[in-house]
Structure 1
Amino acid sequence: MKHAKLTKLELQILEALWSHGKASIREIQEDFPAPRPAYTTIQTTVYRLEGKKAVRRVRKIGNADIFEPTVARDVTRHRLLDEILSFFGGKAQPMMAQLAEAGKLTLDDVHELEKTIQALDEQRKSGPGPAKG
């Protein structure tokens, strides 16, 4: 999948597939909370994802096709994050300010984020040394 835009429903279907690894359309539909989208809605969207090369059919059991994701969760998240950041000039600070204003970012979140950044910084500094051999 080359930078295909994904809808919210497509991302939810991919999330179900990432969780299960492989699933039929019925299994994907059952992964949704009530009220679930109609079976045909899920089916159409899965076929659309197949056209975007984000999923593929891996086998057939009876009448049911089994699908698996062809894109990794982390790759998709990074692309989506890059797309969101582009709305904020590629900078995280204005996005975080918007999240805080919307009540989606708390002080606890910021403290956890600080810990994550410090841990990543430590990893980078101590990173793998020169290869010995």
Structure 2
Amino acid sequence: MSTTPKPTPSELKILKFLWQHGPSTVREVHEGIGVSAGHSYTTTLKQMQIMHGKGLLVRDDSQRAHVFQPAVGEEPTQRAMLDDFMDRVYEGSASQLVLQALGTSRPASSEELEAIEQLVQRLRSESDGESEA
């Protein structure tokens, strides 16, 4: 099981902002996402303090305005959340997840289908290389 924390939806919004914009103050995060979400500054501050306590954010308090940055990377977080979702909903089956996503959700674009085909080809090549070794 992964040790990467799994953020809540509101925590994920803050992380996405920080992944895109880099280290930021609470004010910057609040102006970037909190205002449009209808949150007060103190709500954004409290959320970020909780995230710091959970190990999702690192805080630099060497200046008057504390600067926060993600303590977790975007890809490991996405992977941990996907693994958790796949375990809970599809009993760990990646193929069932992919079949459901491609079969009944919104149709994939031509570009997405091409990228999927390339990924499948690469995975097959890697798998064939391992079985030959």
Gaps of 5+ in 2: none
Kindly tell me the number of residue pairs found equivalent between the two proteins: 125
User: What is aligned with 1:44?
Assistant: 46
Question: C-alpha separation between the residues in 1 aligned to 2:117 and 2:123?
Answer: 10
Q: CA deviation at 1:39?
A: 1.7
Structure 1 distance, partners of 2:86, 2:120, is: 18
Counterpart residue number, 2:19: 18
SS in 1 for 2:72: coil
1:26–1:73 Cα change, 3 Å: same
Once the two structures are superposed, the pairs formed by residues 28-39 of structure 1 within 5 Å of their partners are 28-32=29-33, 35-36=36-37, 37-39=39-41
Deviations 1:62-96 (A, max 9, x none): 3x211111111111111011011111111123223
Q: Which letter maps to 2:119?
A: T
Aligned-residue RMSD, C-alpha: 2.8
TM-score w.r.t. length of structure 1? 0.75
Pair 56,34 (structure 1): closer, same or farther in 2 beyond 3 Å: closer
Report the alpha carbon displacement of residue 47 of structure 1 after superposing the two structures with TM: 0.8
Distance 2:34 2:50 in 1: 22
Relative to the length of structure 2, the TM-score reads: 0.75
Quick check: 1:116 aligned with 2:119? Answer: yes
TM-superposed CA distance for 1:6, in Å, is 1.4
Q: How much does 1:4 deviate?
A: 3.4
Counterpart of 1:54 in structure 2: which amino acid? L
Whichever structure has more helix as a proportion of its residues is: 2
Moved over 6 A (4+): 123-126
C-alpha distance after superposition, 1:17-52 (max 9, x if no partner): 122221101111222286233222211111111110
Gaps of 5+ in 1: 127-133
Question: What's the % identity of the aligned pairs?
Answer: 26
Deviation of residue 119 (structure 1)?
Answer: 4.0
